[in-house]
Structure 1
Amino acid sequence: MNRRHYFMALLPNADIQAEVTRLKQYCCDCYQSQAALRSPPHVTLYPPFWWPDAAVADLEQALDTFCHQAAPVELILDGFAAFVPRVIYIHVAPTPALKTLQAQLVKDVAKPLNLPPTQRHPFTPHMTIAFRDLTKENFRHAWGDFQEQSFAARCWISHLTLLVHNGRRWQIYREFLLRNLAPDDP
């Protein structure tokens, strides 16, 4: 059975993507951590899972139905943080709206489709800039570099993105419009 690797995420606007990609490149150049460059800057809502090619239409239909009920959400990026000893990321405020969106995605899409439970930790919204191939020693140096720096940005996200792995990197497979706009929204 042919299957591919997917994950579901929120991607920030182009300006924030460019700035975060610059930080990922800095981590690659200075701390030999290039793994984060293999995906666009994002906040993971559901981590990577394998899905059969023959059932992609079912996955897309479930996401389309979910996004019809889900509202756009604001991402608030505020400073740097780390999962010691290998991950450095931009902290994303765990707003009630963001936490609700993620929990509803699990309840309304992941569970009904029997997606493998790949979430090993509680949902901690973040935007990774270095991980996996960051050695413990380079982590110490990089974290010393980033922990005192500031980073602040915010943007509204109007799409949920399904990404697929092409064998080398993650790429956008399809974007789903978050369509539940209240009547008084512009």
Structure 2
Amino acid sequence: MFYIAVLCSPEIDSKIQAHKVWMRERFGCTVALKSAAHITLIPPFWLANGQEQLLIETLHTFVTSIQPFTVHLKHFGHFGNKVIFASVEENHLLGSLRKATEDHFIIPFHNSIQPDDRPFHPHVTIANRDIKPGDFNKAWAHFAKLHFDEAFTASKISLLKLSPGKWNMIADQPFSAGTASLN
């Protein structure tokens, strides 16, 4: 299983991790701890065996005219009573990057990656799927009163792969032509 995202800076990841740990310690939420702080561009998808190298090669051919840009995280939000997140301020470049990323990967991986018809609502997850219904209101009361105001420069997209119990970044690609790295 894989997904493609913009990873937050290490400094912001550390701050988001602290909130994820708070959720684990108080409410037993662990799902979000499996990933670094990120903004999902292409949600998790399965890939047929033997296609990982092609996926990495496709990532390394991703080029767009979008230049690095600033992403602002401000306050917290939630989706229903299942997800708590750091809110991303509206940013048309992030929407353009998501569209360019989706367009680049859908054709070669049409059996695994489908267009996402839901409205794009970029966010950085703090807790998801494992918040018990009785705990959501208590957790949200905590986050609703917290101040969170951070920014980082988005300059590359990253490919993450699920290993036992954790998502690991296996490759990344700068937005514009240049060198890519492979972990």
TM-score (norm 2): 0.89
Kindly provide the amino acid, as one letter, of the partner of residue 21 in structure 1: Q
Match of 1:94 in 2: 90
Distance 2:67 2:106 in 1: 18
Q: Which moved more, 1:18-27 or 1:65-74?
A: 65-74
Question: Counterpart of 2:50 in 1: which secondary structure?
Answer: helix
Partner of 2:67: 71
Secondary structure of 1:173's partner?
strand
TM-superposed CA distance for 1:11, in Å, is 0.7
Q: Which residue, 120, 131, 134 being the options, matches 2:131?
A: 134
Residues 107-141 of structure 1: CA deviation (Å, up to 9, x unaligned): 12224421332736221100000111111111111
Structure 2, unpaired ranges of 5+:
179-183
- In 1, Cα distance between equivalents of 2:99 and 2:174: 18
Distance 1:162 1:125 in 2: 17
1:82 aligns with 2:78: yes
**For structure 1, which runs of at least 5 residues remain unmatched after alignment?**
182-186
Aligned-residue identity in percent: 26
Q: CA contact under 8 A between 1:68 and 1:177: conserved in structure 2?
A: no
Residue 23 (structure 1) aligned to one of 15, 19, 22: 19
Q: 1:166 aligns with which of 163, 167, 179?
A: 163
1:76–1:32 Cα change, 3 Å? same
Q: Which moved more, 1:116-125 or 1:92-101?
A: 116-125
SS class of match (1:138): helix
Whole-angstrom CA distance in 1 between matches of 2:119 and 2:107: 16
The equivalent of 2:119 in structure 1 is 122
Q: CA deviation at 1:180?
A: 5.1
Between 1:104-113 and 1:61-70, the stretch displaced more is 61-70
Flag the 1:38–1:118 CA change in 2: closer, same or farther, 3 A.
farther
- 8 Å contact kept, 1:21–1:37: yes
* 2:147 aligned with 1:150: yes
Give the aligned residue type for 2:127.
A
Aligned residues: 177
Equivalent position amino acid for 1:90 in 2: A
Partner residue, 2:181: none
Matches of 1:15 and 1:88 in 2, distance apart?
A: 20
Summarize deviations over 1:2-28 as a string: whole Å, max 9, x none. xxx000011111110100001100111
Q: Distance in 2 between matches of 1:118 and 1:128?
A: 21
1:95-116 superposed Cα distances (whole Å, 9 cap, x missing partner):
0100000011111222442133
Q: Is the 8 A contact 1:9 1:162 kept in 2?
A: yes
Structure-2 residue corresponding to 1:45: 41
